[in-house]
Structure 1
Amino acid sequence: MKANIQYLDLFAGAGGLSEGFKRTGNYRPIAHIEMNKHACDTLKSRLAYYYLQENNRTEFYYDYLRNNISRDKLWKAIPQNILESVLNTELSENNLEEVFEKVDKLVADSETKTIDLVIGGPPCQAYSIMGRSVSSNGMKDDPRNYLYKLYVKFISYYSPKVFIFENVPGLLTAGNGLILSDIIESFKNIGYNLEYKILDSANFGVLQNRKRVIIIGWKKGLNFSYPKFKDVYNSNITVNSILEDLAAVPINSTNNTYIKEPNEYLVRSGIRDDNSPLTWHTVRYTNSNDRKIYREVIERWNTYGERLKYDMLPESLITHQNKKSFLDRFKVLGANLPTSHTMIAHIAKDGHYFIHPDIKQCRSISVREAARIQSFPDNYFFEGPRTSAFTQIGNAVPPLMAYYIADKLKEFFTKED
């Protein structure tokens, strides 16, 4: 089956969800719509990778990763309509008709001239429990609460057979459940059945506990039901599997060197391709006081398997007045555990919640290590500065989770064909 299932990706971010669908080889993106400029550049470079791979020119992409050619030269090597399919815009009621017009043109120029599937999810900060906890009014007035209404309008306009709406579990309780009720009712009113479940990326082979609400909707009358996903077990695999082949890195520096051959997990998950150069194994600066805290946290975990709370630190290291909440703000990766704790976008601000377990390095994780926790392949390049790369990674859907969802979903489209 060739890549003839055409999809539209809304609120695409850096493309984690889309990456899973592309990787199956059965899906073709019509357009990605995203407001962040750096994320859009990431999407363009990833589309360049797939175009070059399909034309047996992957080495040209790897030359870009090695800094042998410029991004401008990379992008000029692929058809411009591919780059133009990434729409850098903030969706709103004011520009919806203009966006429809651009997507319509892309659909008209496509092979099957249809959109079979819509994927994506509105920004989740307004639905997250953490986001509400730090907001003075629980984010009740946040306009992002209602971006789902734009998603509904896309479904109504393009009438895909199926859609996938992804978000945080906090969506279920946002607005005392009224937002979820309105989402369900809105889709039903335009002719779609839907079902939702909380799925954990750890059950899809990702070395991370990351629970997400996955709403799947389908046109009324279709012979479709919510897929049953089989758990992907990682027997005897630990978080160390995504750390052990990467070089030690001093703070505020980069070391894009593999020090070991890829292990079985890295190969099976698609994270490491031996032909690809390593990028973004870059570590931020950490001040001396925080490094002393890191040492305390790492030592407690590695020696006793215990998490050190902030109020348990020596008084000389405590600088925050708040010693009653967010006491786990310094957290080390459990290298011996089967999964990491949930990757969050806050990593763009500091790395305290993701400390490397090697006490000799005494640092927070690199951009590439964060990407691996999210199951991004090493040849996935994040455009923009380091802070933006961390944000893109923290907000993403793990590609490996998306891959298994896409792989299962293709069974329905195969039957339809």
Structure 2
Amino acid sequence: MSKIDRIKNGGKPRVLDLFAGCGGISLGFLAAGYEIIGSIEIDPDAARTHAINFYRGAPEEVIDTHSKPGDITQLEPADFMADLGYEGDIADHVDVIVGGPPCQAFARVGRAKLREVAEHPEAYLNDPRGNLYLRYLEYVRKLKPLAILIENVPDVLNYGGHNISEEICEVLEELGYDCKYTLLNSVYYGVPQMRERMFLLAYHRDLDVELRFPTPTHWVDLPIGYHNSRKVALKTLNFDLFTEHPDNYYEAPPKAAKSLPKAITAYQATADLPVIKEHLNGGIKRGARRFDELMPYPKNQKLNAYARLMRNWVGFENTGGIKDHVIRSLPRDYKIFAKMKAGDQYPEAFKVATALFQKEIQKLAKKGITYKEDSEEYKALKAEFVPPYDPGKFPNKWRKMEKDMPSRTLLAHLGKDSYSHIHYDSDQARTISVREAARFQSFPDGFVFSGTMNPAFKQIGNSVPPLMAKALADQMLVTLNETVHVEEVSHQAIDVI
């Protein structure tokens, strides 16, 4: 039976997630009705997170197998599939490949090397810098999926002079696929976060389908910075048919209408979570924060639709409370956070800190205590109030969230500090917790993260929002089920790749 026939007969499309991270794409596809058969992720904490969530209830040895971090440059497709227990022709077992391979190596390789890979599959061995993208393409070539989803940052449209998305499409076309790519913002798909990313869809051409991206479900007037970033990403697109490589795989994003429901705000996404204030009384110390203490949900709450979804996501239901509602210990900064206004960034925070310091100096002076500005005592006191960073050089280092707007983009840098997302509630005077970051990415409360606080922040910041992934997965499933001339599509046809 061909792959598409199996799906038409009720079989779930089988997904392999490459560069899987903690599983944002996997979760979206699982929620849309796909089966996650495996993943490759090199980070140990992220690999463990993926395993314990997507194989929960499985025997420990199965979870251990899926928990192993994998270096895709060292894993051959046949060996990887065998390790998962799949026998026979490896092309029989994977219907969809998803993932977001890093773009740096790809840009250094270029069109010629990629075409060489299409014709000579071992060519990647000659250029280790290009292994990541080349290995992704090798898995496509060997596993022959029906459909492909690739995600990356908007800058891939102009990375080192390369339109990487365009170049991927050229290679995939040579491998037998029809491709399109566009820019989608997750805030238009029910995610309480403004996050712009490139998404590329590809279907094997023997399916004879029309490529479509999902229709937005929500609307918000994006800040000007997001519009400008999109313009920068798109300004180098070349539609001149007389050039050697016109950019003809790009498709304009589906437009969000103002008549749609308003985007989910930061307040709607997190207001039902427990208030955190013990840090204001010295109750939180520096060091690794583990997820070993249950914080019950506040009682007698009226939940909005988003909060209900986060608590009742099918397969990841959570009713008692959360264990990862933990924050950083930043005692110098709590008083600064409390006085910052919504939308304030580091220059405003620096002014607040300087004013607090001057007030302390004046208070001490009234007690007869004065310090010379070049004294060690003065410098030490200032360090207790004022961050050391130049506000002219680091204007975007800090930002206080607006409660009535979606979150700004979460990045993997959350794993190092959380100043980019200072909580909107001045009474709590803190940066966001791990669970709040997960809420802004649309991970349900029953989704657990392996490791301690910093690795969890990094996993969340690196991930694709599951609701964004689900919107794409839903659309892809509709497309797969609308294939034209299905009766003519055979496994032999797919084998022409």
TM-score normalised per structure 2: 0.67
Deviates more, 1:146-155 or 1:225-234: 225-234
Give the equivalent residue in structure 1 for 2:448. Answer: 381
In 1, the alpha carbon distance for the partners of 2:185 and 2:447 equals: 23
Change (3 A) 1:2 1:240: farther
Cα RMSD, aligned residues only: 3.0
Give the equivalent residue in structure 1 for 2:188. Answer: 203
Highest CA radius of gyration, 1 or 2? Answer: 2
Partner of 2:295, secondary structure, is: coil
In 1, the alpha carbon distance for the partners of 2:89 and 2:24 equals: 23
Alignment of 1:253-332 (within 5 A): 256-259=295-298, 260-268=301-309, 273=317, 275=319, 277-288=321-332, 290-297=333-340, 300-301=341-342, 307=345, 309-310=347-348, 312-315=351-354, 316=357, 317-332=385-400
Give the equivalent residue in structure 2 for 1:371. Answer: 438
In 1, the alpha carbon distance for the partners of 2:207 and 2:263 equals: 41
Asked if 1:119 is matched to 2:98, the reply is yes
Asked if 1:217 is matched to 2:202, the reply is yes
Out of 20, 30, 53, the position equivalent to 1:22 is 30
Give the equivalent residue in structure 2 for 1:12. Answer: 20
In 1, the alpha carbon distance for the partners of 2:105 and 2:311 equals: 33
Mapped contact 1:11–1:35 kept (Cα < 8 A): yes
In 2, the alpha carbon distance for the partners of 1:258 and 1:270 equals: 10
Deviates more, 1:179-188 or 1:352-361: 179-188
Mapped contact 2:91–2:142 kept (Cα < 8 A): no
In 2, the alpha carbon distance for the partners of 1:329 and 1:126 equals: 28
Deviations 1:257-293 (A, max 9, x none): 21134322222466664535422011121132x2232
Equivalent AA in structure 1 for residue 394 of structure 2: F
In 2, the alpha carbon distance for the partners of 1:147 and 1:112 equals: 21
Deviations 1:38-73 (A, max 9, x none): 111111110233xx4xxxxxxxxxxxxxxxxxxxxx
Give the equivalent residue in structure 2 for 1:134. Answer: none
Question: How many residues were matched structurally?
Answer: 367
Alignment of 1:388-407 (within 5 A): 388-407=455-474
Equivalent AA in structure 2 for residue 48 of structure 1: Y
Asked if 1:243 is matched to 2:270, the reply is yes
Gaps of 5+ in 1: 53-76, 129-142
Asked if 1:154 is matched to 2:139, the reply is yes
In 1, the alpha carbon distance for the partners of 2:322 and 2:402 equals: 24
In 2, the alpha carbon distance for the partners of 1:145 and 1:270 equals: 41
Equivalent AA in structure 1 for residue 347 of structure 2: K
Change (3 A) 1:271 1:170: farther
Gaps of 5+ in 2: 1-8, 108-127, 219-260, 358-384, 487-497
In 2, the alpha carbon distance for the partners of 1:110 and 1:16 equals: 29
Matched-pair identity in %: 30
In 2, the alpha carbon distance for the partners of 1:307 and 1:389 equals: 24
In 2, the alpha carbon distance for the partners of 1:333 and 1:125 equals: 31
CA shift for structure 1 position 14: 0.2
Partner of 1:96, secondary structure, is: coil
